[in-house]
Chains A and B, each alone.
Chain A
Amino acid sequence: MRFLLHRAAQGAFVLIAISIVGFLLLHIAPGEFFSEIRLNPQIAPATVDALRVQYGLDRSLPAQYGLWLRSALRGDFGFSFAYNRPVSSLLWPRVRNTLLLNTVALTAAWLFALVLGAWAAAHPKGWADRLSAVLTSTMLVVPDLMFALALLMVAVRTRRFPAGGMLGLEAAEHSLWSQAQDFSEHLFLPVLTIVLGVFPILYRHVRSSLAEALASPFVQAARGYGLGRNQILFRQAFPAAANPLISLFGLSFGLLLSASLLVEVVFSWPGLGPMLLESILARDVYVIVGVVLLSAVLVIIGNLFADVLLYWNDPRIRAEWQ
């Protein structure tokens, strides 16, 4: 319990620090939402000044942060200049769509990485292991955007998969099953793009951690007692290799909001990606701070979850805290 409280307090501190740093950086960056409006000769400068006063932009930076903090505690997370609405009402539907996409993609990437990584570690230096090393190295150097564009091209050429969006235009008129099928088809290419980007990293970590554990002397000793290959893998190597993988799992949990931002833009997925891009271009500061903060919350939750798993898995950590 003491361990959990300590980690939660650390997380809260990090969250406050990120909100301050994010807020500061966005205000230091040149330009603001109303700079572009000022260029419009049809809008009087006095009107722009009045709008700046209305949104509190005339106040000092600490005062603006205070206002934003009060709004965040109310659950609004500030006000969007572009949409003229509280940021939270803009974020939640898009957060849901982004979480859906990334949860499916990261779950698939982890499953493939665990199965294939374990297989490769158990058969080191075989042709399949060497081939997968070459393939994953190649995949690592290809940017996600290239995968996205290539798959988009495949979708357009073959017309087998929809090239964008989350549901077809007439989906609402169909049965629930047809809607689910339509949704799966829309989900496939964005998920595949994210998996292609994340899988090589996860696969390499799983393979190297397990290979190292399998080569460790205490696993060799267990082999010397006659333990079979599967038992060695699951009873000895996996628990021994778990710590770095648990930490990586915590980090990948933090990617649940950010892994798909570019992919969403390419595939017109109605998630956080397209809205964040628009907000950055328009200097809609509070939307950006809101997204950054939500990502930070997920990173912190992911790390907290990883810490709890490490505490549960590793008696050395438990001994340290008892």
Chain B
Amino acid sequence: MWRRSAPCDASRNWDYGMSESLLEVRELRKTYVKPRMFGTGGAEVVALRGVNVSIARGHTLAVVGESGSGKSTLARCVVQLEPATWGQVWFAGVELTRLPWRQLRSFRSRIQLVLQGASAAINPAFRSWEVVAEPLQILKRGTGAEQKSAALECMRQVGLPLDLAERLPHQLSGGQLQRLVIARALVLQPELLVLDEPFTGLDVSIQAQIANLLLALQRERSLTYLLIGHGLPMVSALADEIAVMQGGRIVERGAAGSVLATPRQGYTQCLVSVAFGGAAARPSAEGSR
């Protein structure tokens, strides 16, 4: 269905060197401080406890784990929506965590975040094409006509009929909204897409369509994906590599096939067992993608 036509080689070397990695996250820590009513300081909530991940250009790293494990925080720190408490985020050889705001702005178009919950991620007052053109307007790229034309082209690429261009978000279905947020992320022609639970709230057939769309776009545009997700079956269809998160740490990481076929950690075994209904139903290392 949405599986890639050519299965990946499980024995592939997943330990990319610095030169091959488009994104590298080193020892990333994030602590939230819950402020007291009066006075300074407050209770600390540790969301990330030294996360290390890297993704090679054109590949997909899926980060899976239960709610509250720190997946979305990792995504937000990677796109610099949240400042990390400690650690580094390197993108295309540049350390983003050290860049001043103005210089960071030029990198933002190269990394795009697709937020979870498409309906909430879209301004309800914008028409469909305006949603897609919004990043171009914010970054002042092109004239109004050029922005609209680029937005319509992106809508076409994600399979949205152009007669939806003038519709408001509440007049679109869940699948159409998800395509719209993907189109919005693509309009700046990014190199890295951070997909935060892109299948949440969609029925299985729409999930499959979105997964197919993401695979097609990756092929056409050589996109790199950092995919955050709950559901292992859908994630395994897209991922080259899987990192399992628990309590703000990566507890297991490896090629998608080997993580799914022979999970080493008890937590990963539990996730795989729940997702695929026991060892017998697990996909083989060769057939996972």
Chain A contacts to B: CB under 8 angstroms: 125, 130, 216-218, 220-227, 231, 236, 239-240, 313-316, 319
How many chain B residues have a CB neighbour from A under 8 Å? Answer: 30
Q: Is the interface of A mostly helix, strand, loop or mixed?
A: helix
Q: How far is the CB of A16 from chain B (nearest CB, A)?
A: 35
Tell me which of B115, B123, B139, B168 contacts A225 (CB under 8 A): B139
Residues of A within 8 A of B109 (CB): 225
B201 at the interface (CB under 8 A from A): no
Q: Is the CB of A217 within 8 A of B121?
A: yes
Tell me which of B35, B124, B139, B168 contacts A226 (CB under 8 A): B139
10 cross-chain CB contacts under 8 A: A130-B35, A130-B37, A217-B120, A222-B123, A224-B112, A236-B123, A314-B125, A315-B125, A316-B168, A319-B168
Q: How far is the CB of B111 from chain A (nearest CB, A)?
A: 9
Q: Is the CB of A225 within 8 A of B37?
A: no
Chain B contacts to A: CB under 8 angstroms: 35, 37-38, 79, 81, 104-105, 108-109, 112-113, 115-117, 120-125, 127, 134-135, 138-139, 168, 170-171, 184, 188
Q: Is the CB of B125 within 8 A of A225?
A: no
Residues of B within 8 A of A226 (CB): 104-105, 108, 138-139
A113 to B66, CA, bound (A): 42
Q: Is the CB of A218 within 8 A of B108?
A: no
Q: Is the CB of B81 within 8 A of A224?
A: yes
A226 to B79, CA, bound (A): 11
Tell me which of B121, B168, B184, B188 contacts A315 (CB under 8 A): B168
Residues of B within 8 A of A218 (CB): 120-124
Residues of A within 8 A of B120 (CB): 216-218
Known A220-B115, A221-B121, A221-B184; further 7 A-B contacts with Cβ < 8 A: A130-B35, A216-B120, A217-B116, A224-B112, A226-B139, A227-B138, A314-B125
A224 to B114, CA, bound (A): 10
A319 to B168, CA, bound (A): 8
Q: Is the CB of B37 within 8 A of A319?
A: no
Contacts A240-B123, A314-B125 known; A319 to B171 CB distance under 8 Å? yes
Q: Is the CB of B127 within 8 A of A225?
A: no
Residues of A within 8 A of B115 (CB): 217, 220-221
Tell me which of A224, A313, A319 contacts B108 (CB under 8 A): A224
